[in-house]
Structure 1
Amino acid sequence: MSFSKEDIIGLINFYHQNTISDEGIKHLENWLAENETNADEFANYLALLKESGAISSLTEIKTDVAWSRIIGAVSATKRQSKNRKLHFWLPYAAAVVVMCVVGYLMVYQVEKDYNFDGNYNFAEISTIGSKKAVLILNNGNAMNLEENLDSVIAEVDGTLIQNDGSNALTYKKSSSQQNKLIYNQINIPRGGEYSLTLADGTKVWLNSESSLKYPVQFIGEIRKVELTGEAYFEVAHNKSKPFIIESHGTEVKVLGTKFNVSAYNDEEDITTTLVEGSVQVSSLGNSELLEPGYQAVVKRGRSQFQVNKVNADLYTSWINGVFQFKNQSLEEICHQLSRWYNVEFFFTENQYRNLRFAGAAKKDKELDFTLEIIEKMADVKFAIKDNKVIVGKPN
């Protein structure tokens, strides 16, 4: 008896949703009893689904007699392998992406000139993202940071900017007294990401297709930067100088904290997710004070906020090389994939945009694997036409 990676994921998901058959439980029990490797593999899938948000707690799974035996069998294996951190990412599916279908819509109409039965190599039209950025200095000169590792740049005010071998910028505070703001801007292309430490010690991680404009030295009573795209901030605490992020008319004001802001040009929502501390989000005269684990969403040009309690890890895992999804639409997932892999997605029908998934995907793997797992878990196919990824379904 054998179970594929997708079979295991599906059985866990079906059990969690109370749709698994008695026969499915029996097959699973027999498979687990065959050898310790199977139990170890199953235990790590449970852990991975928990980490990804697809199953928020193992205790949520029913505890009838059959399932209790299964959980008992794998618990010992989990204890034995608790220090093997890399086991969370199993070969093939788990090493690349694990997705569970939350629900889907059936769609039958599709353009006839898209061949969804072809054997496509999506790596030919996509690239895995990497550390790269363009730094715009105060005099307008542009520097390709990908090509200038381990370099030191001097700004006109004496500030030293170090670009180290780990692809991170660090601004060294100038010893001379400054009375005029001098700005730099860092632009992250599609398929790129970068991090930097500002002169006050604030750390910033920038996602693909993002830009940040900031003073090389903060002068005056506030520390203010301008963001387009997505960034994660760990703001250095300074009670006398609030830190302000401005993006599309929305301001996020903090003293010192950890949070994520997403404000892309092609998205209507401006989303602030708080990890630690507190932030005040303001738009058109209205404001909201967030607590850790909460998220504020405001539509561009509006003043009303939607505030929800969320799993902040789902919105910040990208800085650690992982995309995490929980009940996200395929359209939202494809937006993230398109920026990271520098490829365009085209939906043959709007209904496909609403397919919903939970799961996790490692960013250092080829696009092919991610799309293959989505195909296995949902009623959807991917094709290539005119260097675009087509999302649809064969006739």
Structure 2
Amino acid sequence: MEKKYPNHKSSELRQLIRNTEDTDQLHNLLSDLWEETSNEKLHEYDEVTVKQNILKAIVPPKRTHTQPYTPTSSFRSKNNIRKVVVGASLVLSIMVAYFFIAPGSHQSNQLPAQADIVKATAKGFRSTIILRDGSKVTLNAETKITYDPGYGITNRNISLDGEAFFEVAKNKDLPFVVTSRNLSTVALGTSFNVRDYKCEKLASISLFTGSVEVSTLDSTKHSKDSSLVLYPNEQAEFNKRSNNLTKNTMDREKTAAWREEKLYIENQPLKEIVKMLERWYDVDIDIEGDSSAKELYYKGTGIFERQSLEMVLSTIGYSMGFESQINEDQILIKLNDQLPMEKLKTDTPMK
């Protein structure tokens, strides 16, 4: 969740606006708010000019002794301040939206073009982001999304590398477009999961609500070569080896497991499980033995909810026929001497 400035700052700002005689203190508070904002691009702008513009917009001029005092002028003054107070808690939003987004209103303060915005999670971490339009994005471990500063105003385009769950706010005028390594997904207002890790042979789009259009991308031309429409509880899978896009029924429990902090393992070779565990726990895992050891195959379904890595390795190791040694963040998997042949399954490794 993006950082917000503390509530006591907002309350203090309201009090200062009611008593605008102390403009020096108001300047200081705006400086504090400026430093606390989570917008990493904000500090590239001229802080002094922005504060002066804000003060001109929200602080009425001081009443001189020559100005007549009447109940009417007092009422108007209080009424104006009341209107200001309503928006005071959004002062940082005003700073961004009014002084940055509308450059035509401040021709003397033209700002340089902003770079793309990047949000990312490392191995072992997951996070949730609320976008400008109210859409919510939950990032799985080792995932990155990228979008430009015009998101929510001129477009709703997002690039994804990894896995994320999108809860899209409705906006019929701006389609929500997610482009991953191999797929493009277009939605208006819906919720869906996108999984497209570089190291995995399958990419998938799983729909929870609404409808989406899924298209494949040509890796050299970035042009659409096939597409289909998904409805709730449907899933599109793209095989990166055969370049085939297919539709099937979504396994809702499996797809939602990572957002519920559940590790879901089902009918997978050991090498895929190892990559999953490395990403989930932020560790490095080595497999001791010849190449056939990596083709060890886990049959069945295992669901681990907030379990330690030791517990997960012990459980699947008993089933698959291996032992593990853990030394801080370095793990070694050692196969048992007598490995049953039925636990092996041929599977061509990813290039």
Q: Normalized against structure 1, the TM-score is what?
A: 0.53
Identify the match of residue 362 of structure 1 among 305, 316, 332. Answer: 305
Which residue is equivalent to 1:236? 169
Flag the 1:199–1:220 CA change in 2: closer, same or farther, 3 A: closer
The C-alpha deviation readout for 1:257-276, integer Å capped at 9, x for no partner, is: 11111111222322111111
> 1:277-304: CA deviations, max 9, x gaps?
1111111321011121121111348753
Q: Is the 8 A contact 1:187 1:209 kept in 2?
A: yes
Q: Is the 8 A contact 2:267 2:298 kept in 1?
A: no
Task: Give the letter for the 1:252 counterpart.
Answer: T
1:291 aligns to 2:231 (yes or no): yes
Structure 1 segment 121-200 matched on structure 2, within 5 A: 152-154=37-39, 155-156=41-42, 174-176=96-98, 177-178=101-102, 183-200=116-133
Write the deviation string for residues 147-168 of structure 1: whole angstroms up to 9, x where unpaired.
Answer: xxx953233499xxxxxxxxxx
Indicate the SS of the match to 2:214: strand
Q: 1:391 to 1:310 in 2, by over 3 A?
A: farther
CA pair 312-356 structure 1, distance change in 2 beyond 3 A: same
After TM superposition, list the pairs within 5 Å mapping 1:1-395 onto structure 2. 152-154=37-39, 155-156=41-42, 174-176=96-98, 177-178=101-102, 183-218=116-151, 222-283=155-216, 284-300=224-240, 304-347=244-287, 348=289, 349-350=292-293, 352-363=295-306, 365-383=307-325, 387-395=330-338
Distance 2:169 2:130 in 1: 10
- Structure with higher helix content: 2
Offset at 1:331?
3.5
Q: Which residue of structure 2 lines up, in the alignment, with residue 20 of structure 1?
A: none
TM-aligned CA distance change 1:372 to 1:261, over 3 Å: same
- Report if aligned partners of 2:165, 2:194 keep a CA contact under 8 Å in 1: yes
Which stretch has the larger CA shift, 376-385 or 255-264?
376-385
CA distance in 2: counterparts of 1:172 and 1:362, whole angstroms: 39
| 2: CA distance, partners of 1:234 / 1:381 | 41
Cα deviation, residue 172, structure 1: 5.8
The offset of 1:256, in angstroms, is 1.2
Which fold has the larger relative contact order, with Cα–Cα distance below 8 Å and residues 6 or more apart in sequence? Answer: 1
In the superposition, relative to structure 1, how do residues 153 and 308 fare at CA in structure 2: closer, same or farther (>3 Å)? same
Alignment partners' CA distance in 1, 2:263 and 2:283: 17
Specify the code of the residue in structure 2 equivalent to 1:320.
Answer: E
Tell me, in whole angstroms, the C-alpha distance in 2 between the residues paired with 1:239 and 1:181.
Answer: 26
Give 1:358 shift: 0.4
CA contact 1:191–1:342 (8 Å) conserved in 2? yes
Q: Structure 2 length normalisation: TM-score?
A: 0.59
- RMSD between aligned residues: 3.2
Residue deviations 1:31-79, cap 9 Å, x none?
xxxxxxxxxxxxxxxxxxxxxxxxxxxxxxxxxxxxxxxxxxxxxxxxx
Q: How many residues align?
A: 235
Long gaps (5+) in structure 2: 3-34, 46-91, 104-112, 217-223, 339-351
8 Å contact kept, 2:296–2:320? no
Q: Which amino acid aligns with 1:376?
A: Y
CA distance in 1, matches of 2:330, 2:264: 26
**Which secondary structure does the structure 1 equivalent of 2:97 belong to?**
coil
Partner Cα separation in structure 2 for residue 317 and residue 178 of structure 1? 42
Alpha-carbon shift at residue 390 of structure 1 (Å)? 1.8
Partner of 2:19: none
**Deviation by residue 1:72-115 (Cα, 9 ceiling, x = unmatched):** xxxxxxxxxxxxxxxxxxxxxxxxxxxxxxxxxxxxxxxxxxxx
> Residue 272 of structure 1 contacts residue 297 of structure 1 at CA under 8 Å; is this kept in 2?
yes
Unpaired runs of 5+ residues, structure 1, are 1-130, 133-149, 159-170
Maintained 8 Å contact 1:221/1:242? no
SS of equivalent residue, structure 1 residue 228: strand
1:317-371 deviation per Cα after TM superposition (whole angstroms, max 9, x unaligned): 21121123343444333322110112233343246442223021123x3210111
| Cα distance per residue 1:110-149 (max 9 Å; x no partner) | xxxxxxxxxxxxxxxxxxxxx99xxxxxxxxxxxxxxxxx
AA aligned opposite 1:153: S
Identity across matched positions, percent: 26
Greater shift, 380-389 or 305-314, is seen at 380-389
Partner of 1:101: none
User: Distance in 1 between the 2:195 and 2:208 partners?
Assistant: 14
CA-CA distance at 1:314 after TM superposition: 0.6
8 A Cα contact 1:286 1:303, kept in partner: no
Contact in 1 for aligned 2:271/2:294 (Cα 8 Å): no
Cα distance in 1 between the residues matched to 2:165 and 2:118: 16
The question of whether the paired residues in 2 share the 8 Å contact of 1:181 and 1:219 is answered with no
Q: Which of the two has higher C-alpha Rg?
A: 2
| In structure 1, distance between residues paired with 2:158 and 2:124 | 23
The residue type equivalent to 1:362 in the other structure is E
